[in-house]
Structure formats: C-alpha cells, structure tokens
C-alpha cells in the first residue's frame, strides 16, 4: 500500500488537540475533574474512544440491568444479519413469563412481536422480555449468555463475565465501568435503539387484551439536553447504576456510574461527567462514516474510470478547549484493479498529530467497478497503443 493523495491536497491541517493515542488514550488529571459519588465511573469520547475520566474503571463489580446493553446489542446485530426480524412473532415460555424484577408481565404461551419485546427491554428494563428474546435467538438463555461473553471479548471488554441476560443476581457475574462504556458505544449506533431509547411513557399491549404501562427508567432523556439514551440498573448487590450517552454539536460522550447509594446520586454522577466533558473538550469530525471523499480513486481495467470512497467509520479529533496543535490527515491507497466490489477496502486515512500517528480508518469502495469485457479490453489496449 502506497502513500498517495485521494483528496486534492496531500494533507488536511487542523487546529485541534487529541488527548492521546488510540482507544487507550487518557487525559491527565487536573483540578477541574469531577468527583462522582459512586464506586466506579468512566467517561469516554464516543467517536474516538478516548478516555476523559476514570475511577476504578476496571474493578469487577455487579452491574445489574446494565447487562441488558449487551442483550439489546446482540438482538440488533442478529436483525442486521437477518437472523431475526422486528416483525417476528415470539412465543413466550413459562420460564420467561416467570421472571421477577422489572417486567411487562408477559403471558406464558402468548405470542408477541419482537419489536414490542425489544422496546420493553430498552424502555422499562423488562426481564421477561429479555429471556423471551434470548430463548428465541439461541434456544436457551444459557446459550445466549455464551454469545454475550464472546461478543464482550470481541469488543475488548476483558473484565466482563455474564451469567444471565437480565443482570439479576447470579454468581459468577461481573463487569466494570470501562467495559460498560464499550458496550454502550457499540449499541448507541443502532437506529432502532435510538428510537426506543427516547420513549418516555407508552402502553404495552398484550395479545389477551391486557395493557401494561412502560415508563423509561433513564430520567436523563427528559432532564439532560442532548441525552441519547442509556441504561439504568439496580440490585442490592450492585447499588444504583447508570450508563448514558449525550451529545452537544459534534461532541458525543458516554458516561458510566456504578454503585451509587441512591437513584438521585447515579443521575447526578453521570450529569457531572457530561458537564465536565462538554465544558473542557470538543470534537471535530474530519471524515464522516459513509460520506464520500471529494476526490475519487482511479480504477484500472474497468469502464468505470474512477469510483468514490467512503470511510468505514467516522474519523475525528478531540481537543481540550483552549489548546492549539497541528493535525494532518494523509491517505494510503492500494492499486485499484477491477473488478472492485462495493465495500472493498481500497486504502486508509491516517490521522497524525505533529507527525505522530494517532488513528487510522479504512477507506471503502462506494460502488462496484466491473472488469472490462474482452472486447472492451481489446479496444482500450488499441486506444492506448495509438
């Protein structure tokens, strides 16, 4: 792969300041940092994964219903693969209907739409819906938990072990503030979750004519401007927990609090972390996921002379307010020879701070480029010969 210019300029220079390198980035402590009243806390820039604040972030702790972040994530990913549809009908088992704690009181033997069950998990933390969905996807909750643990490892959540899909007390089961943030970061990008997470009050209709009222357990969607959703949790073992996401302009952050003494304290802890992030940091998006770059890549051996390329994910730089540093984006592309399929990796965009690489993102073909037919190749060769 060679260094080359895809855009008109060799580099994009910005006045910005990234805090560190890659997902292990950390800011230095200062006197302005908050002191959330909880056992563990974590604050992350959602786009870059940069750590902005941490308190006991890898300590193994029960996280109660925040486990359902992973339950929802697996369901949405299954829908994307075609393993489940939101319109699927799910028959509720006796075991699922008998779950305690937060629930929508599903009827054993009754059939519900997957969409309704998933919404009840996101809005009111329904344990019965969790088990019904888990059984539908994997045959049993135990098999679903195995998938939860595999996915956690794939996300880099190394200090997490799930024993059920609800977060109800069961040994051994634990996670940590940092891992919860990683899981929520993955979930928050799903449009259907965004739809569910902003529901405040809604009736849940049962097939037998009953109605259960659902109220969102995350009060920040009403009290904090820019809150993009999240997940609460409470058991006697875990204390009061909350993971939530919020944005202001292009700056998006995720905040986690575990083990607060009461519900008010968990909301205050997360709010203080949000305020700290937005007061002291700002993010500038350089390349946005799915948006084509201005300049196209030339394709050899195709009637399609050049095709658009799109970044695989958003590339952004995060800076502490009031600082000035030089940033450049350079592009490395491989030789592009037809046939090219949409989504094929054609290069990378590399972000540098003062000449030091801090991030890179793959550049994907935005369209197909078919190979010349025999006659087209002959004609093109003749034209070039002339």
* CB distance 40 to 59 below 8 Å: yes
Mark whether 125 is an active-site residue: yes
Do 99 and 76 sit in the same domain of this protein?
Answer: yes
Mark whether 65 is an active-site residue: yes
* CB distance 248 to 263 below 8 Å: no
The tokens of 64 are what? 């109660």
Name the β-bridge partners of 231.
243
Do 110 and 250 sit in the same domain of this protein?
Answer: yes
* CB distance 53 to 274 below 8 Å: no
232 in any annotated domain: yes
Q: What is the spatial distance between Cα 229 and Cα 232, in angstroms, rounded to a whole number?
A: 10
Question: Which residue range forms the structural domain that includes residue 65?
Answer: 32-281
Do 102 and 240 sit in the same domain of this protein?
Answer: yes
Q: What is the CATH number of the domain that holds 327?
A: 2.60.410.10
338 in any annotated domain: yes
Q: Enter the DSSP assignment of 356.
A: E
* CB distance 168 to 137 below 8 Å: no
Last residue of a domain, one of 281, 312, 328: 281
* CB distance 287 to 312 below 8 Å: no
Q: Where are the alpha helices (DSSP H) in 198-341?
A: 220-223, 263-280
| Tens of each residue's pLDDT in the chain, 386 residues | 544 433 322 233 222 333 333 333 444 445 578 999 999 999 999 988 889 999 999 999 999 999 999 999 999 999 999 999 999 999 999 999 999 899 999 999 999 999 999 999 999 999 999 999 999 999 999 999 999 999 999 999 999 999 999 999 999 999 999 999 999 999 999 999 999 999 999 999 999 999 999 999 999 999 999 999 999 999 999 999 999 999 999 999 999 999 999 999 999 999 999 999 999 999 888 999 989 998 888 888 877 788 899 999 999 888 888 777 788 899 988 888 889 899 999 999 999 978 889 889 999 999 988 875 554 444 555 555 55
Q: What is the CATH number of the domain that holds 259?
A: 3.40.710.10
Do 276 and 298 sit in the same domain of this protein?
Answer: no
337 in any annotated domain: yes
**Among the listed residues 232, 226, 315, the one whose alpha carbon sits nearest the alpha carbon of residue 22:** 315
- Classified as helix, coil or strand, 353 is strand
Q: Of 120, 125, 272, 302, which is the active-site residue?
A: 125
Give the per-residue pLDDT at 384: 54
- Classified as helix, coil or strand, 212 is strand
27 in any annotated domain: no
The tokens of 120 are what? 């009840």
Do 136 and 246 sit in the same domain of this protein?
Answer: yes
Last residue of a domain, one of 259, 281, 303: 281
Omega of the bond prior to 59 within 30 degrees of 0, cis? no
Do 52 and 8 sit in the same domain of this protein?
Answer: no
306 in any annotated domain: yes
25 in any annotated domain: no
Mark whether 140 is an active-site residue: no
* CB distance 329 to 358 below 8 Å: no
Total domain count for the chain?
2
Do 204 and 276 sit in the same domain of this protein?
Answer: yes
Do 173 and 308 sit in the same domain of this protein?
Answer: no
Q: What is the spatial distance between Cα 62 and Cα 238, in angstroms, rounded to a whole number?
A: 5
305 in any annotated domain: yes
Give the per-residue pLDDT at 31: 58
137 in any annotated domain: yes
Q: What is the spatial distance between Cα 55 and Cα 68, in angstroms, rounded to a whole number?
A: 23
Do 262 and 292 sit in the same domain of this protein?
Answer: no
* Own/partner pairs, 155-164, CB within 8 angstroms, 24+ separation: 155/179, 155/182, 155/183, 155/186, 156/23, 156/182, 157/182, 157/183, 159/58, 159/60, 162/67, 162/70, 164/67
Do 271 and 293 sit in the same domain of this protein?
Answer: no
Last residue of a domain, one of 265, 281, 297: 281
Do 204 and 312 sit in the same domain of this protein?
Answer: no
Q: Show Cβ contacts of residue 31 under 8 Å, excluding neighbours closer than 6 positions.
A: none
Number of CB atoms found within 10 A of residue 305's CB: 10
Do 13 and 53 sit in the same domain of this protein?
Answer: no
Q: Of 55, 68, 119, 219, which is the active-site residue?
A: 68
Tell me the whole-structure pTM to 2 decimals. 0.84
Q: Of 39, 55, 65, 102, which is the active-site residue?
A: 65
Q: What is the spatial distance between Cα 219 and Cα 197, in angstroms, rounded to a whole number?
A: 11
């Amino acid at each position: 792969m060679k260094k080359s210019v895809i855009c008109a300029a060799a580099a994009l220079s910005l006045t910005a300041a990234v805090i560190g390198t890659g997902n292990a980035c950390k800011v230095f402590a200062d006197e302005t940092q908050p002191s959330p009243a909880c056992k563990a806390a974590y604050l992350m820039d959602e786009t870059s994964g940069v750590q902005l604040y941490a308190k006991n972030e890898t300590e193994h702790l029960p996280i109660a219903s925040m486990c359902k972040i992973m339950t929802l994530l697996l369901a949405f990913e299954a829908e994307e693969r075609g393993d489940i549809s939101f319109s699927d009908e799910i028959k509720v088992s006796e075991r699922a209907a008998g779950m305690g704690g937060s629930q929508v009181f599903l009827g054993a033997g009754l059939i519900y739409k997957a969409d309704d069950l998933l919404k009840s998990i996101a809005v009111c933390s329904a344990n019965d819906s969790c088990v019904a969905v888990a059984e539908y996807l994997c045959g049993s909750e135990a098999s679903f938990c195995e998938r939860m643990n595999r996915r956690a490892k794939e996300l880099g959540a190394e200090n997490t072990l799930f024993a059920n899909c609800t977060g109800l007390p069961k040994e051994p089961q634990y996670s940590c503030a940092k891992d919860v943030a990683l899981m929520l970061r993955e979930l928050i990008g799903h449009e259907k979750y965004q739809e569910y997470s902003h529901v405040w009050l809604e009736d849940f209709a049962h097939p037998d004519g009953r109605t259960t009222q659902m109220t969102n357990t995350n009060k920040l969607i009403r009290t904090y401007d820019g809150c993009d959703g999240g997940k609460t949790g409470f058991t006697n073992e875990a204390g009061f927990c909350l993971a939530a996401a919020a944005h202001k302009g292009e700056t998006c952050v995720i905040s986690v609090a575990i083990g607060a003494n009461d519900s008010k304290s968990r909301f205050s802890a997360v709010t203080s972390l949000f305020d700290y992030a937005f007061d002291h940091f700002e993010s500038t998006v350089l390349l946005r996921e799915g948006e084509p770059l201005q300049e196209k890549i030339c394709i050899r051996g195709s009637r399609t002379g050049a095709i658009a390329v799109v970044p695989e994910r958003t590339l952004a730089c995060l800076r502490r307010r009031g600082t000035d540093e030089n940033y450049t984006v350079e592009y490395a592309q491989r030789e592009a020879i037809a046939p090219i399929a949409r989504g094929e990796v054609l290069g990378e965009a590399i972000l540098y701070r003062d000449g030091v690489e801090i991030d890179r993102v793959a550049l994907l073909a935005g369209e197909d480029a078919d190979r010349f037919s025999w006659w087209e190749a002959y004609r093109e060769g003749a034209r070039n010969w002339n």
